[in-house]
A and B are shown apart, each in its own frame.
Chain A
């Protein structure tokens, strides 16, 4: 409420304005409350409790004495934890890089093609997006079946077309298991960056493109000098989401390979390492909640730091339309 032209309402406004402000705040609080409560219960509280757990020593599943940074020291100095941590982190990096190269570059390529509205564009869009809607457990289960060396369709097909020599235990060979898993993941998620990039491309005003073409720019020039710079916000989102997704990766390796990061930790990632350490393997590993929580805390710090820095850096490169 601002002053009116004749000032007649101004005399009443201080009290009324205050109460309205208070009312506004009340409404804001009411609307924000569900989100704040959920966030506090399912994000803030678990993070704080993980931090607390990481500072205690544990006897089985029972908390014993205060350990300070003992669990962190154990994680960084006692074999096999430092090696497992470095190995899992390295695998997360590989997953991130491979996902950027395979999934997101392919997604960008498909988005550029779809943006030209080829015949059946809408059908393609739906097809590319379809795997994203599938349950991850189903995707993992199906691909594990396809890649089974005894019954699986992949090795059988290779044999039929005379490429039997290329048949591999795709999920069992240490050198290729992680790549295989990343490709399954890319197959599932490909539609997502495609749709985001496509939306970004479609948002580029047609007159920019027309003006460039009238000036004699080639299609590649249009793409490189106009579409790509204006696509930067979409790239920021995809890079950040891929980063968070890659470093929080858990479900697919868990569904396909189990909790141990088989074979011989070749598909071990930080999420699995955390879960396995904190809660134990099926019936062969014991819970180590202290060290497990320490891993969770490290993951959280790393994700928040890198995501924030990355977002700031990528934002700077974005170009405003208008």
Chain B
């Protein structure tokens, strides 16, 4: 009996030295890292579909917590142990991995589906260093205002179009004891989003974006600082002690119908629905100065699926990457996550997302993310912190413009000495 056991153990040990892959039976195993912990069920579903069609490939979706993702990915890639398929951010967030050569460049021959993607979306997947594409864009996001339809109806309010109407709506709500806006300032990025909704209609949208990215003007310009000053008018309508209100509290206030409006991004739609099925909400763009203006909405490419330049399974990884660029993948992405897939031709069924899609006819690049997140210190880092100062009353809008311009001048040549 003992001999038999020993023999069995020996066989088992020997077997580990001769894995089946050597004999060509084992499928190619690929890892796919991401920061989207909450979307794991969707990715698992799409991967199952892909695997059914490609029996020789196995993909494991491994999400990490968003705050640690960039650090984990950096460590993995520099140690030569990164994943095969990588969920990447867009613009500068992609550049930081692509420029040093950690990501495999893609071309139209390898991924012909990319030809159909609009240039603005592809811009988020392109490296500034060599102009090449490093991923398949997965979503576009738009910054908007959400409102609770039930609360609006209770107080006979209609969706505001102009700034004046917007303020009137908020004043009415406040007088009736309703918190008009759920937004807070504890987390700087939520203030940058707030500025992305409010400011473009006052600084002139894409015209200013192009002027400032070309270095013809700076963030000191009064059009920009004046637009930021509009944000100060929102303070009385934000929750008491709004500077201590974090993102989770903002969401909870809107989801639990404790606040009538929430200024945020289109990525919230799926989450709001999932948290409170009875929440009846609509979407409207940032208000304009005059009624006859068509409002600008800030939008951007959210991120990309890329391939590790050092992957041992390049062919299999490319197959999966091509799959992510198909209409079928895009449609599932939009249907399951209630987010705008970056794949062209996807039909949107969600009513709020349809509204967002319509607003996107006059979209302007989300200014810091698209234009000024290419090197450290990024425009977002500078703006978020300065906006906290402005909303807390320690900085003026002009000082915010000054801080951002001065900080950026360390790598934006056109700002130097201006």
Residues of chain A touching chain B, judged by Cβ–Cβ distance below 8 Å, are 59-62, 64, 78-80, 144, 147-151, 155, 167-174, 257-265, 277, 279-288, 291
Contacts and interface: CB of A to CB of B under 8 A. Distances in A.
B378 A279 contact: no
A171 B70 contact: no
Nearest to B89: A283
30 contacts: A59-B99, A62-B78, A79-B406, A80-B403, A148-B245, A148-B246, A149-B239, A149-B240, A149-B241, A150-B241, A170-B244, A171-B244, A172-B186, A172-B241, A172-B392, A173-B243, A258-B67, A263-B188, A263-B392, A264-B389, A264-B395, A277-B376, A280-B96, A282-B70, A282-B189, A283-B93, A285-B380, A286-B96, A286-B373, A287-B74
B85 interface: no
Contact of B99 (A62, A167, A281): A62
A60 to B, nearest CB: 4
A151 B249 contact: yes
B70 A80 contact: no
B371 interface: no
For the complex of A and B, 5 pairs with smallest distance between CB atoms: A62-B100, A169-B244, A149-B241, A172-B243, A172-B244
A8 B375 CA distance: 79
B410 A79 contact: yes
A170 B70 CA distance: 30
B100 A260 contact: no
Contacts of B409: 79
B258, B385, B406, B410: residue with the most chain A Cβ atoms closer than 10 Å:
B385
Interface residues of B, number: 61
B236 interface: no
Nearest to B179: A150
B395 to A, nearest CB: 7
B386 interface: yes
Interface in B37-82: 66-67, 70-71, 74, 77-78
B224 interface: no
A282 B377 CA distance: 14
B410 A78 contact: yes
B241 A168 contact: yes
A173 B74 contact: no
A168 B187 CA distance: 17
B384 interface: yes
B154 interface: no
Contacts of B125: none
B203 to A, nearest CB: 20
Contacts of B377: 80, 285
A263 B66 contact: no
